Structure formats: structure tokens, C-alpha cells
Amino acid sequence: MTLEDLWKLTRRQFAVIGLCAVLGLVLAFGWMVLQPKEYTATAGGYVTAGGGQSIGESYSSQTLAQQKAKAYVTLFTNRRVTQAVIKDLGLDTTPQALAGRITATVPADGVTIAVSATGPSPEEARDVADAVVKAAAAEAKRIEESGPTRQVVGADGKTRTVKSQAQVLIEPNESAILPNSPSSPNPSRILPIGLMLGLLVGYGVAAIRHYNDTKVRHTEDVEAATGAGVLGILPKSEDLGSERGAVDRSKSFHERESLRKLRTNLRFVDVDHQPRSIVITSAKQGEGKSTVASNLATVLAEAGERVVLVDADLRRSAVARAFDLDGSVGLSQVLAGTATLGDALQPSHTDGLEVLAGGAVPPNPSELLGSHRMEQLIEQLAQDHFVVLDAPPLLPVTDAALLTRSADGAVIVVAAGKTHKEEVERAAAALRAVDGKVLGAILNQVSTSKVDRIRYGDVEYGYTKSYTDDYVYEADGAGATSRQDVKAMRRKRG
């Protein structure tokens, strides 16, 4: 995985990663709260080895003290020392347990021994540290004085017994200070560990989610799945819907411009054999094919093209509702011969655009749409019009594939973040299986929220605010001459 891949993973799955990181912190904090608190206090002892009348003697004493200091480090966890501390302080513990709470260290070539002791309270930690130094000093003195006795003849000629004298002693020279805060658990150590573990788990979960996520979100995904180019990218908007009268709703500059881009790209999809009849379909239901077909037919008519929009989705007609027209008479009656084409065609509110509704739901939609009569109807309409056919989705039924064989090609509508790659691949394969031509694809319902654009990139959609302010008045023909006029127009529209 490259740094770019890691950045994409972080950007797309930041919510999961962040949640796991916070959860790691919370668990670490909870574990820390449940742990018993320990306090640490430090006391010190100084090792002396007599004195000297000369520099040489003093150096020898210093060297002896250094050697003894290293040897005496083990005294501080000695059983006799810990038993003496327990007796002195009245502690409810064992010598072994107390020895585990004591640490003694001596620096290299040093004579000072630092003793650290832990306890459940600041007072106990301080008292134990001081008591350990005191008990160890007593133990060292006992050891030094445990040598053999000597017989010495005095000046009076009498023989006396002299006990061994301690030449090396441990002197307590630094008493312990009452600790202000616990040494364990340590938040500065535990919380970062919890955070790091949370991040590791988060990235693991994010990687699993990322590599198991086959939803289409980028133009590259659509091109790879369909084997054709992306003709347009349409934003997710309530104004681009299939509700009753939705086509005639006022649309924003971004929505209108994206439809114009689609219209322009469609004209250049095959300059040698420009299509005159196209099928608008999708892999499955709910991807916005009827909305795309209705709005595409509208912008083609606005550009001066004579257009006929045919609702070829005889199972779930939506075109008549989008234009707020009567859909009781339409394509099914024309194909059955119970109504003429002239009677079934209905004008829309856009000059140059006529609508052929679906009509009554027939018992055999596939047979009607794949019939020779349907092929003749498309050829007849395409002589004087640009024909846009709203077809059913490809995966549930074969209607769209049959229509594509009779038309100049098909455009597959793909819902961003909803359609899976394998579904788009199967839809494109279904068209090519009947020698249908895939003219391209449309990435529909693209989110324009800042969060999604950060997570998944811009997918080549959208304009800067400056671009909008500079050109929106030209697109609207509203006569605005400055950005202030544009803002005023927007406020007026609400």
C-alpha cells in the first residue's frame, strides 16, 4: 500500500477510524480508572568508608565505598530488611510482596543509593522509602560488625577482647518527599497506547470495509465497469426527481449546467454516426433513469432539437407523472393498434418536445418492446425527431436489451454510492450480448456535500463559488451585472 492509498483509505473511512480511535481512548481511560492507584516515593542513602589522613588514603576509602555501594544494592530487598520495615511500620504484607515494591539503584562509580518504594497511598510510599533506607543501613552495619573478635594487649600488659568495628556504613542522606500524584496508572503512557491500538483496529476495519466496498463512486469505476466513457455527472437533488411535475421545477445553475454538459457530450459520442434514438436504462430500479431521460429530452429540445420522449418502461411508467401528463393512453396502445401515434403523442411545456406515455400496462411488455412493430416505430420517429426511450432496468428484465437492438445505442445510468460494480458490469454485458451498443454512462445522484467530497473526491463535478457568481447570471439571462446582483437574486428566490 502506497502513501496515496493510505491517504485515500483515511479520507474515505475517517469516520470508522476516528470512532475506533475514540473507543480506544475510552477503553484505555476506563481500564486506567479501574486500576488501583500506586504512589512512588524516593529516598537516598550515602555509603561511607571511613576517612584518610592523606590523599592516597582518601582515594582508597572512596574506591572502597563505590565497591560497597554496588554490593549493598541487594540489601534493600533483603528479607531481613523487608521484615524490619514491616515490623516498624506495621504493614499488612509479606516480605516478598514488599520486596517487589522496592527498587534500589546506584550510579556508575557513585556512592549514593537511590531507593524507590511504591504504595497505595502517598504516606505509605514515603514511609516505606525512608524505612527501607534506615533498615538497610542497620543491616549493613550488622554485617560489617559481624567479623571475628581480636585479642589485643593493652599498655598495662593486660589482654582484652576487641569486637570488629564497621568501616563502611550507609548513612540516610535524603528523606522521601510526599508524592502529589500517582505514578501508576500513568495517563500520559496509557492513553497514547489506547489511542494507537484504537487507530490500528480502526485502520484494520477500514481496510476490510474499503476492499469489500464495490459501490461505484468515481468516473473511473464506471468506465471500467461499462467499458465506455462517462457522458455526464448529475448531482443529487430533489429538483432532479420523477415526482409529478418534477421536470418543470426550477433548477439550480449546477443542475442545469450538468444537463447541458450531458447534452454536449452526447452529440460527440459518435461524430461519424450520430445517434438519433437512444435508450436510457440502468442496472436496477431506483437509479434515476426516468429522471435522466426526462431532463435530457428537455435540454435537447431547449437547444432547438425536435425530440420525442418515449416511456418504454411499460411495467412502472414514470414519464407522464414527471411531466404532469395523462398517462392512460400511450405506447402500449400504439403497439397494440388501438390508438394512432398522432393521438398518443402529447406536447409538453417545452417547445419541440413531445411525450409518448407508457399507456396501459400490458400482460406481455417484453414481447411488445421486442416486436418488429416497435422497431418500425423507433425508425419512424427517428426520421424527424431525436428519440429518447426510457427503458426498464437491465438486470430484472430483458426489455432494455431488446430496445437497444432496435435503437442506435443505450446509455446506462449509474447511481453513485448505490450501484455495485458487478451490477454495472452485468448490465453492460446484457446489452452487448444482443449486439447492442453502449454509447456511454451517466453517473447520477452524486453527492455534493463537503463531507462526501472530502471522503471520495470531487468526481469531476462542481464549480467554484467564483465561477458560479461570474456566470450564473448569463446562464439565467436574468440581467445580473455583478456578484452582488447574483446574491440578491438568490435571496429573492429563497
Domain contains 471: no
Domain contains 487: no
Specify whether 242 is located in the same domain as 170: no
| pLDDT, average across residues 454-465 | 45
Domain contains 470: no
Over the chain, what is the mean pLDDT? 83
Specify whether 352 is located in the same domain as 456: yes
Q: What is the pLDDT of residue 323?
A: 86
More confident residue, 489 or 319: 319
Specify whether 231 is located in the same domain as 361: yes
| pLDDT, average across residues 332-336 | 91
Q: What is the pLDDT of residue 494?
A: 44
The domain tally of the chain equals 3
pTM, whole model, 2 decimals? 0.64
Specify whether 269 is located in the same domain as 237: yes
Instruction: Please say if the pLDDT value at position 61 is more than 90.
Output: no
- Express each pLDDT in 341-399 by its tens digit: 988 999 988 899 999 998 888 888 899 998 999 999 999 999 999 999 999 999 999 89
Range of the domain at 208: 3-35+186-212
Domain contains 105: yes
Specify whether 108 is located in the same domain as 19: no
Question: What end-to-end distance do the CA atoms of the chain give, in Å?
Answer: 48
Q: What is the pLDDT of residue 8?
A: 78
Instruction: pLDDT band for 328, please (50, 70, 90 cuts).
Output: confident
Domain contains 200: yes
Instruction: pLDDT band for 445, please (50, 70, 90 cuts).
Output: confident
Q: What is the pLDDT of residue 461?
A: 43
Q: Which residues in 5-28 are b (16+ Cβ under 10 Å) and which e?
A: eeebbeebbbebbeebbeebbeeb
Q: Is the preceding omega at residue 185 within 30 degrees of 0, hence cis? A: yes
Domain contains 474: no
Specify whether 167 is located in the same domain as 247: no
Q: What is the pLDDT of residue 179?
A: 92
Specify whether 252 is located in the same domain as 334: yes
Residues 6+ apart with CB under 8 A from 277: 378, 381, 382, 386, 387, 388, 389, 406, 407, 408
Specify whether 145 is located in the same domain as 274: no
Specify whether 263 is located in the same domain as 391: yes
Specify whether 285 is located in the same domain as 165: no
Q: What is the pLDDT of residue 470?
A: 46
| pLDDT, average across residues 25-46 | 93
Q: Which CATH number is 123's domain given?
A: 3.30.70.1130
Specify whether 457 is located in the same domain as 330: yes
Specify whether 156 is located in the same domain as 200: no
- Express each pLDDT in 102-141 by its tens digit: 999 999 888 899 999 999 999 999 999 999 999 999 998 8
Q: What is the pLDDT of residue 318?
A: 86
Domain contains 60: yes
Share of the chain above pLDDT 70, in %: 82
Domain contains 76: yes
Instruction: Please say if the pLDDT value at position 473 is more than 60.
Output: no
